[in-house]
Amino acid sequence: MGIGRKIRRRRKELGLTQSEVAAAITSASTISLIETEKLSPKMEIVKLLAERLNTSIDDLMDNEMKEDDKLLGEWMEKIEHSICEMRLEEAMEQLHLLQGTDSVVNHSTAKQMIELFTTQIELEEGNHQQAQDRLTQFEEKWLPVDGLPKVNALYLFIKAAYLIDEGWHEHAFNCLEQLKEIKQSLPLLYMPHFLILYARCVAERRDCLTSYKHLHEAKQHLVNKGRWIELCKAKIVKSTIDQLFEYTSDAYNELMATEQLLIFKGECGLLNLVYYNLGRIAHKRGLLQEAIESFAKCMQVVQVPSGRLTADVELALAQIFFEQDRLTKALEYANKAMSNSYNFTIRCNIYLLIAEIKRHEKKNDEQQQALLEARKSALDSRNKWLNKKCNESLGHFYYEKGDYQKSSFYLIKASTFTEQEF
């Protein structure tokens, strides 16, 4: 007996009309279509109807629907494994195959999970603009996702990861705080990554102890489960946090050990991040040629020829060339970075560097324009420290030009700036 006939029989047993069953769930005409087997109900509708009819989902679902849900669960688990282990092409292929199955056609939860997994892959590949577009589309189409904790948990996880990468750490922290309330609904494979995201967020708040505590817990879990690729990713994150807290030697040692492990295992997918961070450390130490060589290695193994990481590397190279007084080369790489970045924080730093280049070239009008663009990007990034820096730079610029009124305006804004200005 199909699900429609089971609903009709149970409705008759309770003496209910189609309108009474449909109230606040769907329409009476939809119930009619379901009962006559002309429409296959979504799982969310089945759950609500089971409650209304005082029965269980298992009693209503036919064997075919149960098999579909079992099959979907197996697909989702495979995709989760592929994403966590950085086998992104394989994950994308699995998603394309799943989208073509009959099981997904009337299963909105499956569609939502597919959209979120696709967004996560875009993020992992460094395609932040595409990820942002997908998140916006998901929010417009599906939010709120009340009553679907697994979807909501995955959405909050991916949203937090995106916000952290964009430098919006306070917003990311708010997402993670919401996620803590329903983290049991997050796929088990994602739990160490939730801890890693939390560590990154609290590190930006300069909470060293809490950050390292969460990182240690995540790494221990990954070691115990033998998930070495994800462990390497956690080690790279730790190195970035080490750099934030000025533990440069610890960061360097962590990265060198991770590089050796990745090469030994023949896994090159994360080497780009290793070489990028080694380049940053060499730059900080004043070893400019070593930094250039590390950034060059990063670009050789980078998975996506354009995007966030490429922009980060090009900006770092532009800064090095500027320090070497190679202004033409510095401007060339700054412009390359600009063309590869949609991130407001990066764009602000690029504009600030361009302003410095133009100051050295004594091109005041172009310096002024770059500083104004930097301030606009800082406001868009919601980064109060960058905004303060831009206001200070504009204040000094106008002071040197003798425009003391504008100089005072921006210097006062720099000294009194608060988050309320957003």
Greatest mean pLDDT range, 24-33, 37-46, 249-258: 249-258
Pick from 331, 324, 371: nearest CA to 352: 371
User: Within 10 Å of residue 414's Cβ, how many Cβ atoms?
Assistant: 18
Helix (H) or strand (E) holding 399: helix 384-401
Residue 23: give the domain boundaries: 3-61
Per the domain annotation, does 157 fall within a domain?
no
13 part of a folded domain? yes
- Which one of 70-74, 121-125, 282-286 scores highest in mean pLDDT? 282-286
Regarding pTM above 0.85, the answer is: no
Query: 215 in a domain, yes or no?
Result: no
- Please report whether residue 309 resides in a domain: no
Q: Is residue 262 over pLDDT 60?
A: yes
Q: Is residue 196 part of a domain?
A: no
Looking at the domain assignment, is residue 219 inside a domain?
A: no
Contact present, 241 and 198 (Cβ < 8 Å)? no
In this prediction, residue 38 carries a pLDDT of 78
Give the CATH number for residue 38: 1.10.260.40
Looking at residue 231, what is its pLDDT?
A: 94
Q: Confirm whether 82 is domain-assigned.
A: no
Q: How many domains does the chain have?
A: 1
CA–CA dist 138, 152 (Å, integer): 11
Express each pLDDT in 122-162 by its tens digit.
988 878 888 989 999 999 888 776 556 788 899 999 999 99
Q: Write the DSSP string, 306-353.
A: SSHHHHHHHHHHHHHHHHTT-HHHHHHHHHHHHHT---HHHHHHHHHH
**Residue 409 forms part of a structural domain:** no
Check: CB of residue 279 under 8 Å from CB of residue 294.
yes
Q: How far is CA 72 from CA 31, 107, 129, 134, 345, in A?
A: 25, 10, 29, 22, 39
The letter for the amino acid at 292 is I
User: Exposed, middle or buried by CB within 10 Å (0-12, 13-18, 19+), for 180?
Assistant: exposed
Question: What is the rounded distance in angstroms from the CA atom of residue 16 to the CA atom of residue 10?
Answer: 9
Q: How many residues does the chain have?
A: 422
- The pLDDT score that the predictor gives to residue 105 is 58
